[in-house]
Structure 1
Amino acid sequence: MKVGSNLKALRKRKSLSQEEVAQALGMNRSTYSGYENDVALPNIENLIAFSQFHDLSIDDLIKKDFSEFTEIDWTKFENQWKDAAKGSNLRVLTAVVDNNNEELIELIPEKARAGYVSGYSDQEFIQDLPRINLPFLTKERKHRGFAINGDSMPPLPSGSIVIGEFIQDWTNIKSGTPCIVVTKSEGIVFKFVYNNLKESKSLVLVSSNPMYQPFSVSSADIIEIWKFSAYISKEIPEVQMDAQQVNLSFRNIHLDIQRILDKIEQNQKN
């Protein structure tokens, strides 16, 4: 592991002091200095924090040797996110087909969510997943279903299956698009995506429930993105109405009842 020397090289690349980096990461300078000087090894939480701060993967942080980088190496490394985000580095999807050689939609249930983050490209893992066919979805796009839980994205009920369309080029995602985002650190999340890739090499993920704070993920942390196409649920979403909507609803019900009574009265007269 080359964490210490890499942290030092990355910090100097940004022309920051140890104190500035430590403050940005919410730790004291002596603790951070210990990591740079290999006095202590950072835990997984700190490795994630370092990777997000420097917009790189944990794998790069612990395996590459940034202390040996030339300016050409730095330029190439700092621009590699563009190839990844645009899908220039081909993302190979493992697919399952039926007897008619048509692709089926794999479903990632709750119990398989953790395994998907590491097994998304494993053919055996994908083939063991449950699968369905949804004829109303275009056959020209690859779709996959993901189980979601919790109350962060109403009106979708917890336990719904979100069907997503695979997105090859992340740079074209319009801000506000609901997507399944598969990440190394957060796992599988369903959020509204706000695209900051060109500005900060990151996406901001926002819940529809205001009780949940938005958070950002770096492009290096992203594995896959699937744009919302449909969802499957055994529950009818709850709809919250304000006072004006409730009054209007009762007024419409009253009018409907009155029409029914008028019709009954008219029939009795006839």
Structure 2
Amino acid sequence: METYPNNNFEVLRLELSVTNREFASLLGVREQVYSRIKKGEYPLGLMMKTRIQKAFPHIKYDWLLYGRGDRTDTGPRIQSETVSTVHMGNGRSIGYFSDDVKFIDENKNNIFFEVSPGRYLMQTKLVTEKAKAGYLSGFSDEEYMDDLPAHFITVNEFHKGAYRSFEVSGDSMTDGTDASVLDGDIVTGRLIKRELWQSKFHTHKYRYWVVVHRYEGVIIKEIANHDVSNGILTLRSLNADKTKYPDFEVNLDDVDQIFNVVDISRSL
């Protein structure tokens, strides 16, 4: 197994003044995985290398991973006065290598940070497994939302609309293929406005959906059928054990929010 004990991950994390969990979120992995990465012990496959390069395109890979060569493509170290502020969901702020910060949607749900021309980090609010119970009554509460941690995904443009991220729990969406949504993964979805629920959802374009149900909580499933006239959704798990995970129906009158999933960050 390749090791990389001379890496500079902790140098970069400390400069950003973020916690291990927040830095792990930038990489799209769990905090436990980042703990092994910073020790130089985690096996880096193509997916993980791609995530590192996407998260820090301004940092040379050899410098970050092996402590070799120059830090950036331009040579000189980025000075603190060029670092702008990224506001985390818990009220803290971190530095980030960009001076272009732009709120997009009217409720300021998403913040975008330019990391290279045409590439941006989009910050969303992350509903962790522990926060799901409170989300049912708190998603319209500004104080509750402000306390949620941040999650980042890489995008190529400024997206309009409200986006939110949810931590996955359980194995209902696991079928043993690459299409699985695994326990600990983080899915990010775009909010579908209620007035659009009267039309067929674009299930041909988006495979996975987050349904915030008033009684069942946060549900992450496929939509097997949308009965528009009666306002009924049939939700389906990927898991082949249909005795444990059968298809089931929900009435849209009992649903508060629906998101179509646009990104999955693997727990690895």
> TM-score, normalised to structure 2's length?
0.48
Q: Higher strand fraction: Structure 1 or Structure 2? A: 2
Q: Higher helix fraction: Structure 1 or Structure 2? A: 1
> TM-score, normalised to structure 1's length?
0.48
